[in-house]
């Protein structure tokens, strides 16, 4: 049986709820990817081109610092990585997370929540951050139930 981690970043709580359900369905450990400097409501104002989130998303080299690390990361076989979709892709803090660990021999499965867009080309944008991982696609989890998540996890054959 694989040891699974569900690691997620959540700005408003929506992705946190999905991650909690997924961890329960997958019998996985849960880790919240928290920025060292928490986001304020003003930071998250995507309509303001000078907000922190807008500046980060417009800078390909942006890597917001993370507050803590996953303990015993090497013991995990598969990692579900979750986030809200920002600007049709993952927030830059997800790149920080992926670049902080050695994913060689590990499986990565993306999941996201979104108010209106899908995952698009998110996987191809993130692959360079963990090139030695086995990437297994991803899924939007808007309104997913524990039962549907359990079926999805089982279908992945992790």
β 4-8/78-84 pair status: parallel
pLDDT band at 2 (very low <50, low <70, confident <90, very high): confident
β 134-140/4-8 pair status: unpaired
**Domain count along the chain:** 1
Per cent of the chain over pLDDT 70 is 99
Angle (deg, nearest 10), helices 14-26 and 146-156: 60
Q: List pLDDT tens digits, range 87-120.
A: 889 999 999 999 999 999 999 999 999 988 888 8
Mean pLDDT computed over 74-81: 98
Q: Do the beta carbons of residue 54 and residue 83 sit within 8 Å?
A: no
Task: Pick the closest to residue 94 from 14, 7, 1 (CA basis).
Answer: 7
CATH number, domain of 98, equals 3.40.50.360
Residue 52's domain spans which residues? 4-156
| Residue 1 reports pLDDT greater than 70 | no
pTM, two decimals, is 0.95
Q: How far apart are CA 45 and CA 42, in angstroms?
A: 5
């Amino acid at each position: 049986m694989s040891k699974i981690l569900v690691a997620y970043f959540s700005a408003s709580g929506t992705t946190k709820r999905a991650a909690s359900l997924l961890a329960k369905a997958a019998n996985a450990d849960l880790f919240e990817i928290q920025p060292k400097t928490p986001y304020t409501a003003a930071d998250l104002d995507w309509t303001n081109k000078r907000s922190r989130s807008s500046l980060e998303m417009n800078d390909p080299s942006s890597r917001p610092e993370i507050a803590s690390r996953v303990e015993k990361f090497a013991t995990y076989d598969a990692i579900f990585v979750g986030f809200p979709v920002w600007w049709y892709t993952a927030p830059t803090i997800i790149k920080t997370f992926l670049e902080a660990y050695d994913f060689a021999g590990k499986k990565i499965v993306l999941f996201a929540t979104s108010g209106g867009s899908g995952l698009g080309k998110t996987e191809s944008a993130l692959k360079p951050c963990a090139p030695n991982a086995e990437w297994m696609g991803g899924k939007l989890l808007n309104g997913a139930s524990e039962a549907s998540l359990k079926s999805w996890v089982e279908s992945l054959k992790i």
